[in-house]
Amino acid sequence: MKKNKTHIDWTLIFLFFLLISIGWINIYSTTVESFDSFNFNTSYGRQLIWISSAILLAIFTFVINYRFFPGFATPIYFIFILLLLLVIVVGESTKGASSWFGFGSLGIQPAEFAKYATCLLLARYIANNECDLTKVKNLSVAILIIVLPLFFILLQNDTGSALPFLFLFIALYREGLFSWILIAGLTAIVLFILLVFFKEWIIAAFITFLLIWVLWLFRKKKRTYKGILLIYATIIIYIFTVDAIYTRVLKDYQRARIEVLFGKIEDSKGIDYNVIQSKIAIGSGGLLGKGFRNGTQTNLNFVPEQSTDFIFCTIGEEWGFVGSSVVVLLYAWLIIHIFLRSEQQRVPFVRIYGYCIACIFFAHFTINIGMTLGIMPVIGIPLPFISYGGSSLLAYTLMLFTFINLDAKTNLWN
């Protein structure tokens, strides 16, 4: 009898090693003082330890029984929900966010691992319910799985870690999410941008005018009045709720960053200093860059967080447009490859999980690079596999190699 064999996706493994290598080289470039020294107490030294740990985790994740992941998705999810609650109480505060557990010189951020846990449980729940998101009950539970960790992360004042959870709705759309929900989401984004420029009562008055016009258009179909009025009430409540959060909950510097991004105010006080220095660094790289360790903006520490959130500006300055394009293409290759492999799966759990992690990677990739280019607000979000940091590297390694494990052994499922 012919035995089923595993089919390892060497492309994903290759991309993993290539990206972590690019990350370490750029971290080394911005932190090393001389070529003759090597210190494990530096950022590049600690990152090398994290990379070694990630490789060990990758091996362990790949060899573990593939049935473990759907079987233990629920307890894994609730363990990290408890950790998200616990970190609010006893976690260390960094840059205004209480999102870290401190262990001596090391720190662990539960929010990064909560993304992995959410992908697992979301995939298991939808797969077990035959991917029928047209039923209100199934859709409500799926949304709750996404929103619950997002809510607790927002309580930690860590917007950057919370935002990628919203991209999981793209995976839900693939599994049957109603189109009107995505349209409602886009409408909410447009209304938020309008609220940056206009008073809430002006927008509410305009929406009311539109309501009167729509009601007049449908004057002969009064049965539609109820639905139209419900949409109108929802929009009005949203407008005044978001305005209250924007003016009373967000801090001054957070509002200022949003207003600078959309051009409402000039950056005369250096509110967007990080972005300005990042754009200078990337622009100064030109076509081919200044070369390894020759970046003036990054090596002279003009760019804050140049090895973490703003590491892409290091790549842009030292390796230029060509090097930056290579990194962008590598991420595009990684994400598209996961989407394509997921679409080929005959096991719903594997397909949904693949879509979920691809959405998470896509969120981090687009937001981080958009942030360094000044086209998105600075919210603090790492570039997967490249930015300095243990929690993010281990979490993304866990996400990726869980998929590689499931994908390799799909033919063993019954």
Give tens-digit pLDDT for 176-201: 777 777 777 777 777 777 777 777 77
Least confident window among 3-12, 36-45, 123-132, 153-162: 36-45
Q: What is the mean pLDDT of residues 211-228?
A: 72
- Hunting for tokens 């449980």 — which residue is that? 121
3-state secondary structure of 98: strand
Count of residues in the chain = 414
Residue 411 has a pLDDT of 64
Rounded to whole angstroms, the Cα distance separating 352 from 175 reads 8
**Is the pLDDT reported for residue 265 higher than 70?**
no
% of residues, the chain, pLDDT over 70: 82
Q: How far apart are CA 175 and CA 135, in angstroms?
A: 12
Instruction: Return the pLDDT at 120.
Output: 95
Mean pLDDT of 3-17: 83
pLDDT digit string (tens) for 336-390?
999 999 998 888 899 999 999 999 999 999 999 988 887 777 777 889 999 888 8
Q: In this predicted model, what pLDDT tens digit does every residue of 61-103 receive, in sequence order?
A: 999 988 899 999 999 999 999 999 888 887 776 665 667 776 6
Q: Which residues lie closer than 8 Å to 217 by C-beta, 6 or more apart? A: none
User: Which tokens in the block code for residue 49?
Assistant: 């330890």
| Least confident segment among 15-24, 198-207, 318-327 | 198-207
Determine what percent of the chain is predicted with pLDDT higher than 90.
Answer: 29
Q: Which class for 189: exposed (0-12), middle (13-18), buried (19 or more C-beta within 10 A)?
A: exposed
Q: Quickly count helices (H) and strands (E) in the chain.
A: 17, 3
Instruction: Enter the DSSP assignment of 290.
Output: S
Spatial CB neighbours of 113, under 8 Å, sequence gap ≥ 6: 80, 83, 391, 394, 395, 398
* Residue-by-residue DSSP string for 173-208: HHTT--HHHHHHHHHHHHHHHHHHHS-HHHHHHHHH
When pLDDT is cut at 50, 70 and 90, the band that residue 268 belongs to is: very low
Supply 411's token pair: 């033919």
Q: Which of 239, 216, 215, 242 is nearest to 226 (CA)?
A: 215
Q: Which of 16-30, 283-297, 307-321, 324-338 ranks highest by mean pLDDT? A: 324-338
DSSP sequence for 103-165:
ETTEEE-HHHHHHHHHHHHHHHHHHHTTT-TTSHHHHHHHHHHHHHHHHHHHHTT-HHHHGGG
Question: pTM for the full model?
Answer: 0.83
Res. 1 pLDDT band, cuts 50 70 90:
very low
- Give residue 334's pLDDT band: very low, low, confident or very high (50, 70, 90): very high
Model confidence band, residue 325 (pLDDT cutoffs 50, 70, 90): very high
Element spanning 97, H or E: strand 97-103
pLDDT tens profile 269-314: 555 677 777 788 788 878 888 877 777 666 666 666 677 788 888 8
Spatial contact of 397 and 367, defined as CB atoms under 8 Å apart: no
Question: Could you give the CA distance from residue 378 to residue 313 in angstroms, rounded to a whole number?
Answer: 14
Distance of CA 262 to the CA centre of its chain: 21
CA atoms within 13 A on the CB side of 237: 6
DSSP bridge partners of 108: 101
Ranked by mean pLDDT, the top range of 115-124, 139-148, 194-203, 257-266 is: 115-124
Q: Lowest-pLDDT range, 221-235, 354-368, 389-403?
A: 221-235
**Beta bridge pairs of residue 100:** 92
**In angstroms, rounded to a whole number, what is the distance separating the alpha carbons of residues 290 and 316?**
9
The answer to whether residue 23 scores a pLDDT higher than 70 is yes
Query: Going by C-beta distance under 8 Å and a sequence separation of 6 or more, which residues neighbour residue 45?
Result: 38, 39
Mean of per-residue pLDDT scores for the chain: 82
The single-letter DSSP state of residue 32 is: -
pLDDT of residue 276: 77
Which helix (H) or strand (E) segment holds residue 93: the answer is strand 92-94
Task: Spell out a b/e string for 267-285, using b for 16 or more CB atoms within 10 Å of the CB, else e.
Answer: beeebbebbbbbbbbbebb
Give the HSE-up count for residue 412: Cα atoms under 13 Å, Cβ half-sphere.
13
Q: How far is C-alpha 381 from the chain's CA centre?
A: 7
Spatial separation of the C-alpha atoms in residues 82 and 259, rounded to whole Å = 35
Two tokens, residue 212: 């009167």
Q: What pLDDT, on the 0 to 100 scale, is given for residue 270?
A: 56
Tokens coding 59:
């091996």
Alpha carbons 339 and 351: distance in angstroms, whole number? 9
CA gap 165, 406 in Å, rounded: 22
Residue 165 dihedral angles phi and psi, to the nearest 5°? -60, -30
Q: What is the pLDDT of residue 88?
A: 84
